[in-house]
A and B are shown apart, each in its own frame.
Chain A
Amino acid sequence: AQSVTQLGSHVSVSEGALVLLRCNYSSSVPPYLFWYVQYPNQGLQLLLKYTSAATLVKGINGFEAEFKKSETSFHLTKPSAHMSDAAEYFCAVSGKAAGNKLTFGGGTRVLVKP
């Protein structure tokens, strides 16, 4: 069975500071990993995905994530937070063994302080 744990349901950062959102996964087979962002009253927008190519994945809006198999982690970072980054972020895992469905973490809500 696959699962995802996101450490911290809420994160507060100052504008211009580093954003670090933590994600650990559990999967019996090499996983596909995703980060999605959700703005209020919106659906989910894909930020980036890992599909066994480069372990450092660059996404939209200046975000990137690094796949670390030894730590079963896929943390999301952005060097400098912007007010527009205030949203909820979801890490998700999928894989053939689970029929390619997405299993999501509980989400991390990011607050950006001016």
Chain B
Amino acid sequence: KAGVTQTPRYLIKTRGQQVTLSCSPISGHRSVSWYQQTPGQGLQFLFEYFSETQRNKGNFPGRFSGRQFSNSRSEMNVSTLELGDSALYLCASSDPTGGEGYGYTFGSGTRLTVV
């Protein structure tokens, strides 16, 4: 079974630009969550999508947005980039129909550097 695929692996953007990151979940998984990892704030939850609907959202400004397509692939977008948005962005795939306490499988992440 293929794992969670995130593209691209690395990105360098300039302040003020926008960026789109992509995540393809494990086949059959309908839930995709996004996390931001920084040295200062650690791992923080951004949002979760299930069957194309956002069903949970973390405490991030509206510049951070996402969506999920009918094939469960997800994208997240960050507009008007700030230096503080430099981080490793991790996507996690899960199968909520598998019962409570279902695990999450993470991708390798996209390393975003804002200059």
Contacts and interface: CB of A to CB of B under 8 A. Distances in A.
Interface of A: 32, 34, 36, 41-46, 49-52, 90, 92, 94, 96, 99-107
Greatest chain B CB density within 10 A among A42, A43, A52 is at A43
Contacts of B6: 43
Given A32-B101, A94-B101, A104 B43 contact: yes
A43 B48 contact: no
A101 B48 contact: yes
Given A43-B106, A43-B109, A101 B58 contact: yes
Interface residues of B, number: 25
A5 B58 CA distance: 19
B33 A101 contact: yes
B42 A44 contact: no
Contacts of A52: 101
B45 interface: yes
Nearest to A52: B101
17 contacts: A41-B111, A43-B4, A43-B6, A43-B107, A45-B106, A49-B101, A50-B101, A100-B56, A100-B96, A101-B33, A101-B48, A102-B33, A102-B104, A104-B42, A104-B43, A105-B42, A107-B43
